[in-house]
Structure 1
Amino acid sequence: MVEYEDEFGRMRTARKSEVPRNLPSKTEEISDEYDPYIIRGDQGFFPVYEPSAERVKDIEEAFVADSNPTKHYDASQEVRAAAAGFYQFSADEETRRKQMEDLKRVREETEAERARLVAEEPSSGGDARESMGSTKTSIIIGRGIDKRKRDIEERRKAVEAKRRKTGSGFNIQASLESSADDFLAKLEEDIMKPKS
């Protein structure tokens, strides 16, 4: 509990937290020591940190060092999985340049091989893969799909031949259809019979 003088000059007693902030407190003792981190009196603004000239110079130098154009992306600084096509270049400029040249050469070889494979592939009458500008991968996948379709067709024919051979001409579907026809014929007879 503290005593304070309100705006009308009356002495009041209240908790310290209930005293209006705009009223000066007489209970505080102001020390003669100057402390730059203590704010006394009315403040019409929020104090702003102003760094020294040395600190500003240090910050600018650090910024210039960080924004060095010769600095490249380093994947080892990140914690995440890289995909199969990921390639980590060296931090050394000369080694990096050589790696990039090798990668460009390998890419050109790959494109030439793809073009050769497209030229060698027999046309299949306007296949969708050719119209899309096929690549080596899509050619290989397309060939795999075609082979799979042929294998399935061969298996289907073999199973059908086996059914015909083991069934001695007995066709399950025809058997079911004839029994259903017999049932329906009998049902029709029962319905059409005159009731006696």
Structure 2
Amino acid sequence: MTPSTNLYGFPKPQKVPKEISSSNTLAFTSTLTPLISTAQKSSSGRHRPSKKRPNIFKTQKRTYEERNSQNIQNGSRYFSNKNKDVKRQKLEGVDEAILHRSKQKLEAKAKIYAQMKRGEIPENNDILVDFDQKWAEHQDAGSDSDLDAMSDDGQESLIEYEDEFGRARQGTRTEIEKMERQKKVALLSTEELGRMSARPAAPSKINYGDTVQSKAFSLDEPIAAKMEELAAKRDRSLTPPEMRHYEADKEVRSKGVGFYQFSKDEAVREEEMKALEKERLETQKRRKEREDKKKQRLIEIEERRKAIQEKRAIKQADTFLSSLDNELNASESSK
């Protein structure tokens, strides 16, 4: 099959260009023109207003106060959030044991502060808060109100009152108020001390005075037996502990040259120790004698050396004098 034939061997029909008549062209143009005009007028969706972007050159300048207030507001918000985050991160990063110790230290400081306010701590120069001075300043501030309560002659009127012991007394209004304040402070300090103190509270059921206690010294059988046992332990004689010594055969290790194995029998052990002590004393005696002889020998050598030096000096002097005499004689003979 050649390219010019088809599947069945027949020749392919040749493609002849078709000629388009002018009437067909005009009909196509007249049909297409109204379609294009109607397509431009029709819209496929709803109308959406266009968004105009603001012109950067036409923006109104803000005043200095507006910018400053905005910056302060943004800065405060930033730093507040930052401080919160920092505190949260710090607390999350700290160990629970450290937080517990810090809490205990703060509670101890609170107790000390309460004791300082009550005056239970002695005077100390290291204390930074002077509560007496604070109380004096508070009294000076309230002195103006106290002056109004005075009478016309410059003295406060006396008022009769009952003290804590039930006695009738007379005093000024200031003294009465001061005493009431002292009572309240003492009561509050006592309550706070009992609440914050680490010591246990005193028991409420305590017998004071001449109270008969019938069962305080009852010698029952178990109590009597315990007392007898304690008395026996107290009165018995002290027994010395058992003698225990080092046993070299129970250790697997090499001993030194000077190691000596004592006997396990106490009597033989005592004799061996006495013999060793005697040998030690004899050795020390001989060593001292030898050292004394050595010192004596050194002294003799030093004396002999001094004698030799003296003889040598005398000989050198004689030689010098003889040589000098010869020189003098030679000089006289030459003259």
Structure-1-length-normalised TM-score: 0.31
Higher normalized contact order (CA 8 Å, seq sep 6+, divided by chain length): 1
> Which structure has the greater CA radius of gyration?
2
Structure-2-length-normalised TM-score: 0.21
Larger helix percent: 2
